[in-house]
Amino acid sequence: MKVIFAGTPEFARVALAALLAAGHEVPLVLTQPDRPAGRGMKLQASPVKQLAMQHGIAVAQPRSLRLDGRYPEDAAAAQAAIAAAQAEVMVVAAYGLILPQWALDAPPRGCLNIHASLLPRWRGAAPIHRAIEAGDAETGITIMQMDAGLDTGDMLLRRSVPIAAHDSTATLHDRLAQLGGQLIVQALADAQADRLQATPQPPDGSAGITYAHKIEKAEAAIDWRDSAEVIARRVRAFNPFPGAATTLQGETLKVWDCKIDSCQRLPDKAPGQILLANDTGLHVACGDGTVLVLTELQRPGGKRLAARDFLRGAALAPGLVLGASA
């Protein structure tokens, strides 16, 4: 099929690569404008743009698609490019811009979205993070026919995957990206063969609908009054962004990995108190008397280190309290 592709990050790049590998013609890619990145904060093309350029695909980077919005000239140029592409369908994956009705209606087969959850659970911006944070046993990919709502369109294909006990957003993202690429290729094949069956989502307010709100940096701070299980889920959910964090004697420490010490319950210890520091990790008291073992940490400006390596350069004695005011 002739496909316009709209996407920006690595998750979307994997899907675009799958479409190209399957032989679909992609005359146009829409992606976010180049952003400053890295230590030098130089402008950097998105992963999707980089792949498109490697394949000689035309790229449009409008700041908005609203013809009546802040950047009407960008939207008008994108509208012209979409019309000129004469594609049958638009595939959208983590694009980052809202598609107005004119864009949804532009291709004859409309716009298909690759969404990283089992809709209607975790509509919204951060479905992978929120599924881990909530302790879900599974998640997956939904291919959806886009409409004007927030991830409210008819479901065309759904495929589930288990969330492993030690999955982080990084590891789960990679599995879902691969699955998304496979499923969108299948969806286009089914569309060509008129095999796609649309299943409407339940109306707003129905049971099972949840929203995956955007991750904010302020959420990174660990509250040691939470149980070890809750903190462990948040550590995994916020890896690689924004990274769970705590403080020790005025210094911020990032916590990238941890495990629950299910053999100990110490209700008389203050939340955040360091109980033990050795090669197995930094053992910390949490709420409800539970204990969390921090196994990968990072100082500001330093590297992510296994606890045994981190502790060689940090004398963290039992009794110190993480997260306490300096």
Structural domain contains residue 296:
yes
Closest CA to 221 of 208, 209, 235: 235
Give the Cα separation of 227 and 72 in Å (integer). Answer: 50
Residues 239 and 181 in one domain: no
In this structure, the answer to whether residues 40 and 130 fall within a common structural domain is yes
Dump pLDDT digits (tens) for 197-238: 999 999 988 999 999 999 999 999 999 999 999 999 999 999
Q: Report the alpha-carbon angle 236-239-138, nearest 5.
A: 45
CATH of residue 116's domain is 3.40.50.170
In a domain, 324, yes or no: no
Q: Are residues 52 and 200 in the same domain?
A: yes
Same structural domain, 194 and 308: no
Q: How many domains does the chain have?
A: 2
Q: How confident is the model at residue 325 (pLDDT cuts 50, 70, 90)?
A: low
Any idea which of 56-65, 97-106, 299-308, 315-324 has the lowest mean pLDDT? 315-324
Q: CB–CB of 83/171 below 8 Å?
A: no
Backbone angles phi, psi at 127, to 5 degrees: -65, -30
With cut-offs at 50, 70 and 90, classify the pLDDT of residue 326.
very low
Q: Which residues are bridge partners to 35 per DSSP?
A: 44
- Whether 226 and 84 share a structural domain: no
Structural tokens at position 209: 């609908």
Same domain membership, residue 98 and residue 7: yes
Rounded average pLDDT over 229-256: 96
Domain that holds residue 158: 2-212
The residue from 212, 240, 274 where one domain ends is 212
For residue 265, the model assigns a pLDDT of 82
Q: Are residues 196 and 239 in the same domain?
A: no
pLDDT digits (tens, 9 = 90+) for 131-145: 999 999 999 999 999
Q: CB under 8 Å to 205, separation ≥6 — which residues?
A: none
Last residue in a domain, options 161, 180, 212 = 212
pLDDT tens readout for residues 36-63: 987 788 999 999 999 999 999 999 999 9
Write out the E strands in the chain. Answer: 2-7, 25-30, 35-37, 42-44, 58-60, 89-93, 111-115, 123-124, 138-145, 155-162, 211-212, 244-248, 251-260, 274-278, 281-285, 291-298, 305-306
In a domain, 320, yes or no: no
Domain identity same for 121 and 223: no
Question: What b/e readout covers 16-35, taking b as 16+ CB neighbours within 10 angstroms?
Answer: bbbbbebebebbbbbbbeee
Residues 50 and 188 in one domain: yes
Could you tell me the two tokens for 30? Answer: 């829409």
Query: Where a domain ends, among 212, 230, 248?
Result: 212
| pLDDT, tens digit, 9 for 90 and up, residues 68-104 | 999 999 999 999 999 999 999 999 999 999 999 999 9
The CATH number of the domain where 236 resides is what? 3.10.25.10
Convert the pLDDT of each residue in 18-27 to its tens digit. Answer: 999 999 999 9
Report the pLDDT value the prediction gives residue 314, as an integer from 0 to 100. 78
Residue 295 lies in a domain: yes
In a domain, 175, yes or no: yes
> Are 240 and 256 found together in one domain?
yes
204 and 109 in a common domain: yes
Lowest mean pLDDT among 151-155, 218-222, 265-269: 265-269
Query: CA-to-CA distance for 210 and 120, rounded, in angstroms?
Result: 7
Is 91 a member of any domain?
yes
Kindly report the number of other CB atoms within 10 A of residue 10's CB atom: 14
pLDDT class of 264 with cuts at 50, 70, 90: confident
Averaged pLDDT score across all residues of the chain:
95
Query: Would residue 155 count as lying in a domain?
Result: yes
Same domain, 132 and 206: yes
